Amino acid sequence: MSSNSKLSGYVSSLEGEMIDAMKRMISIPAISPESGGEGEYDRGEFLVSLLKENGITRVSRFDAPDRKAKHGIRPNIVASLGNGKGPSLWVISHMDTVPVGDRNLWKHDPFTAVVREGKIFGRGAEDNGQSLIASIYAAKAVIDAGLSPDVKISFVSDEELGSAKGIEYMLKKGAFSKGDEFLVPDSGSERGDAIEIAEKSSLWARVRTAGRQTHASTPASGLNASLAASRFMVFMTEYLYAKYDRKDHLFEPVPGSTFEPTKRLSNVENVNTIPGTDEFYFDCRILPSYRVSAILQDMRRVAALFSERTGAKIRVDVFKKSTAAEPSSTSSGIFRALAEAVKDMRGIEPRFVGIGGGTCANIVRLRGFPAAVWSTECGMAHQPNEYSLIRNMVEDAKVMAALFAR
């Protein structure tokens, strides 16, 4: 029996432990203070204990200060399997989750894991709990096999809102060294055959409109900010899609750029008042061949025209933006090794893709590190009744174990 076959069988035997660990973790909310939560402190403490329970004792931390978070910190945890003297393979998963959204859309408590029909239901089960738990038990498998590879598994904070308190903080503190490579298991396909090498740029734009509040029965005495903002929203969306219509079929499942209005704040509390203010947001995912600055310039130019025509003052600001890094070279060691592990453990021929979502991989690519993004996913991230397939969690752990043991 080959060493990878032994690892595969051993990981399979850990399935019950993996399910239990996932259930325990889901019960601990890890929502950013910016989204109404306390942060990742409690979940981080649980994960440190879980690492030690599984014989992974070389644990260090990079705690980012955040006055809004529980105990004033956002934890970033690193577990080392080797001696740390040479270049390392890093596996980066994130602890934080998005909020639950409309609880009425959930069939059960999002923070009480439910196991049914081969699935684990709960907020953060697939994004990013599945990969986080898989990495721990992949590490356990290679340690129990008597191996001590130069691998570091890390659980970071703040990924959902830009990573300033997460992997960006670790970079500032010098956590990574020349020669390090990265696996970021935070996106993937249902077959597990997609290895992501590139991401789109992103722009979150905040649009604030000022009009004049008045009674709804006398609209001419005011200026309806909501109406002016809505007209701008519809025109701007159609304009951007028409102008920036290039396609790049490396990117899946959407080969073009996207420009979607998303969050909108409430304005007035009662029905019979015309609002004097409005605030909403665009989420734009932009092909690397376009400049984010050009799109922002267009948005501001159109906002100025609408302001002139409507009398409302429409202002476009950057809420968050990121520039796409150059795609990672598929000749890098991490890509060759990951492709071999996927072929060996899953019998699948991998393919290289780009995605519209943003992960920690883009952040380290911008610093010159090679980073592969891979996992097996059902596309349940951020949805009500989010779930992870138990089979995906276990099979991904097998691939990670083979990658660690190479």
The SS3 call for residue 109 is coil
CB count, 10 Å around CB of 284? Answer: 24
Separation between Cα atoms, residue 268 and residue 2, nearest integer Å:
67
Cα–Cα distance, 28 to 192 (Å, whole number): 28
Strands 214-215 and 273-274: antiparallel
Q: Please say if 96 is a catalytic residue.
A: yes
Q: In 29-73, which ranges are continuous DSSP H helix? A: 41-53
Catalytic: which of 40, 63, 66, 96? 96
DSSP 293-337: HHHHHHHHHHHHHHHHHHS-EEEEEEEEEEPPPPPPPTTSHHHHH
CA distance 120 to 203: 33
Q: Between β-strands 119-121 and 387-389, what pairing exists: parallel, antiparallel or unpaired?
A: antiparallel
Q: What DSSP character marks residue 220?
A: G
159 is catalytic: yes
Q: Of residues 40, 150, 159, 377, which has the active-site annotation?
A: 159
Q: Which residues lie below 8 Å from residue 46, measured CB to CB, with a gap of 6+?
A: 24, 25, 28
The alpha carbon of 308 is separated from its chain's Cα centroid by a whole number of angstroms, namely 39
Active site residues: 96, 159
